Structure 1
Amino acid sequence: MSNTETTTTKNQRTERRRWNGTDLGLIAVFAALVAGAALVPGLALNGFGVPITFQTLAVMLTGLVLGPGRGLAAVGLYTLLGLAGLPIFSQGRSGLGILAGPSAGYIIAFPIAAGVVGWLAAIVINRITKARAVWFFLAATATSVVVVHTLGILGIALNSKATLEQAFLSDLIFYPGDIIKNILAAAIAVALHRAFPDVLVRRVRRQAATAGKA
């Protein structure tokens, strides 16, 4: 491959990685979705004041639909706006002070989880054609356990002076709801991918194929 061809290929790949107006619009829409999910009144049942909300459903759906980069950006935007002072965290909370509370680990985990489950969703889109809802559910559940619950437990332990065992036991109350929410997120994501295959994360497969030909 000549230097000119190499340069052209690099430019093409750079162009494919750029976000366009549609991407930015989707990031804004899904950031608003996560914020809207936080406005639904939650139930604080775990003993440390961390409420059960629909946020994890919105976070997982964002990653499953938008993929890793845009998913992380959307939930990261929501998180930054909340830390900046907009009352868009659960129970209308906002500001940096939330990082000193028991919910801190979950808040920090949300954008990371969106990126991780988005990465797993891209793998499913690229390699799996059958039972995608099942794989999306497994991806969301694994991400919930490894990222959201792990960081959530650490946040409770650090900010409430509880032991890791106490924090772990208090976190278990979230698992039944998370399973239901992950089922819903997987089902909705599959439906959205079918309805909008040219806009959502399915384009990763076409980009990979194009890159392979270059």
Structure 2
Amino acid sequence: MPRLTGGKGFPTGDIARISVFAALIAALGLPGTLNLFGNAVPITLQTFGVMLAGTILGSWRAALAVAVLLVLVAAGLPLLAGGRGGLGVFAGASAGYLIGWLPGAAVTGWIVERGGHRPGIVRLVVACVVGGIGVIYLIGLPVQAAVTGVPLGRTALLSATLFLPGDLIKAVLAAIVTKGTQRAYPDAVPAVHRERLRASKEG
């Protein structure tokens, strides 16, 4: 039986997964934001969703899930933590972090994909730390410094103090949740999904 697709050979299952994770990242903004010591960039749970998207969906599907969310935010929907939305959020201090979600999710997924059918917990944590923290900080910190006028070194130190402990906890939790999900649902392993998708197209 031919596999259902959405459009030009794009599996409807992938469309559903991308949509679900875009919605998940948005839902993780519902608890709101936490601003410590008046920092211009709030602490939210949404980076946890970005990490999960990468570890479960893999590189390109995770990037698409984030892209869908960001397009909806740009269109004005209040999907960011604290009910924020609209083009204005991409001109604020947190703009670099939001933009960093897309390559961050892709890099996280790429590292997990290199782990084959059974990526270990260490690889999952490393993927979340490198993609979900490192890549996002790499883009977010310079933009935050430029917007706020605070020197980059001071911005990095402040962000490391305020954000890094919580982000490391998110990385470990994302790895644990992903490992449990992959045991219960093997197709949640990006490499397995990719092989099954290739086999279905060849068949």
TM-score, scaled relative to structure 1:
0.83
Q: CA deviation at 1:133?
A: 1.4
Amino acid of the structure 2 residue aligned with 1:192: T
Residues 1:114 and 2:105 aligned together: yes
Contact 1:157–1:163, Cα closer than 8 Å, also in 2: yes
Q: CA deviation at 1:68?
A: 0.7
Contact 1:47–1:170, Cα closer than 8 Å, also in 2: no
Q: Helix, strand or coil for the counterpart of 1:92?
A: coil
Residues 1:204 and 2:186 aligned together: no
Q: CA deviation at 1:146?
A: 2.6
Q: CA deviation at 1:161?
A: 1.3
Report the counterpart of residue 125 of structure 2 in structure 1. 137
Report the counterpart of residue 183 of structure 2 in structure 1. 194
Report the counterpart of residue 174 of structure 1 in structure 2. 163
Q: Helix, strand or coil for the counterpart of 1:50?
A: coil
Report the counterpart of residue 78 of structure 2 in structure 1. 87
Taking the aligned partners of 2:189 and 2:14, their CA distance within structure 1 comes to: 9
Amino acid of the structure 2 residue aligned with 1:92: G
Residues 1:19 and 1:38: Cα distance change in structure 2 (over 3 Å): same
Q: Helix, strand or coil for the counterpart of 2:182?
A: helix
Q: CA deviation at 1:205?
A: 4.6
Contact 2:93–2:147, Cα closer than 8 Å, also in 1: yes
Return structure 1 stretches of 4+ with deviation > 3 angstroms.
205-208
Contact 1:62–1:114, Cα closer than 8 Å, also in 2: yes
Amino acid of the structure 1 residue aligned with 2:178: A
Q: What is the alpha-carbon root mean square deviation over aligned residues?
A: 2.3
Taking the aligned partners of 2:133 and 2:188, their CA distance within structure 1 comes to: 29
Q: CA deviation at 1:142?
A: 1.5
Contact 2:106–2:131, Cα closer than 8 Å, also in 1: no
Report the counterpart of residue 134 of structure 2 in structure 1. 146
Amino acid of the structure 1 residue aligned with 2:151: T
In structure 1, which of residues 42, 49, 53 is the aligned counterpart of residue 40 of structure 2? 49
Taking the aligned partners of 1:107 and 1:144, their CA distance within structure 2 comes to: 11
Contact 1:120–1:139, Cα closer than 8 Å, also in 2: yes
Residues 1:183 and 2:172 aligned together: yes
Aligned sequence identity (%): 36
Taking the aligned partners of 1:46 and 1:109, their CA distance within structure 2 comes to: 23
Residues 1:64 and 2:52 aligned together: no
Q: CA deviation at 1:206?
A: 5.1
Residues 48-84 of structure 1: CA deviation (Å, up to 9, x unaligned): 3211111111100011000011100001111111111
Contact 2:97–2:136, Cα closer than 8 Å, also in 1: yes
TM-score, scaled relative to structure 2:
0.87
Residues 1:157 and 2:148 aligned together: no
Amino acid of the structure 1 residue aligned with 2:176: A
Larger radius of gyration: 1
Residues 109-130 of structure 1: CA deviation (Å, up to 9, x unaligned): 111111110111111135xx47
Taking the aligned partners of 1:192 and 1:179, their CA distance within structure 2 comes to: 20
